[in-house]
Amino acid sequence: MKVNMRTINEDSLRVIFTNKMDTWLFANLCALKGINKRVGPFLSLRDAEADMWTSVGDEFFKNAVAKCRDQVINRVSTLFGSGFIGQDLRQEVVQAEYIFGVTYEKQTDLRNRKVRVLLMKKDDLETMMRESDINGRQFEHDRRLMADPMEKTSKYARDRTIHLKKMYKIYFNRERGKERSGSSESGTIIGRVFIASQGHLQ
């Protein structure tokens, strides 16, 4: 299996997260010296302020996380709006379920210190998880990494694979009801979105 990494869109956080409290939350989270290692590099609203969520109650917290997830879904959906219109007009359209997660990686390269939305088709993510457990199966970048573990692109690809696997585990723990209430996992902006695109499967 070969995983291609591409940038679909770049924009200001305020375009996606429009509430003033959202802006404050992300500024707070990105300023943390150490993102929670259990969920990092995925941002967790649970880590924003130690006492804040206790004072407002768990229901308010859950609504805040759900709102952030909905805003990511809305933004991704607008990028593929023509696909949904095509679907409605009975044109040839392909639809798939994707898993997304909001990250912040404190890389030494200051250019890449930004909030990201990782997005991968659910079927491919499941295949990646399944094949990684089979002895002898390697991804394209795994072979490159073995040839030169310190090469910049290899290290980047390795880290991205680790992050995608973590995203999968957090998402499916939530789906199976195994997510612990009050944990950092419960505050991650990880969810699913359906994307429609005009065209056909090859």
pLDDT digits (tens, 9 = 90+) for 133-180: 555 455 555 555 556 666 666 677 778 888 999 999 999 999 998 888
Is 119 part of a structural domain of the chain? yes
Question: What is the pTM assigned to this prediction?
Answer: 0.83
Rounded mean pLDDT of 80-86? 88
Nearest to 184 by CA among 63, 72, 29: 29
Say yes or no to pLDDT of 76 above 90: yes
Structural domains of the chain, count: 1
Give the whole-angstrom CA distance, residue 119 versus residue 98.
6
Is 3 part of a structural domain of the chain? no
Where on the phi/psi map is residue 199: left (φ > 0), alpha (ψ -120 to 50), or beta?
A: left
pLDDT bucket at 14, cuts 50 / 70 / 90:
confident
Angle subtended at Cα 113 by Cα 13 and Cα 167, rounded to the nearest 5 degrees: 75
Quote the domain boundaries for residue 39. 17-198
Is 9 part of a structural domain of the chain? no
Is 7 part of a structural domain of the chain? no
Higher pLDDT among residues 38 and 153, named by residue: 38
Is 6 part of a structural domain of the chain? no
pLDDT of residue 130: 81
Is 97 part of a structural domain of the chain? yes
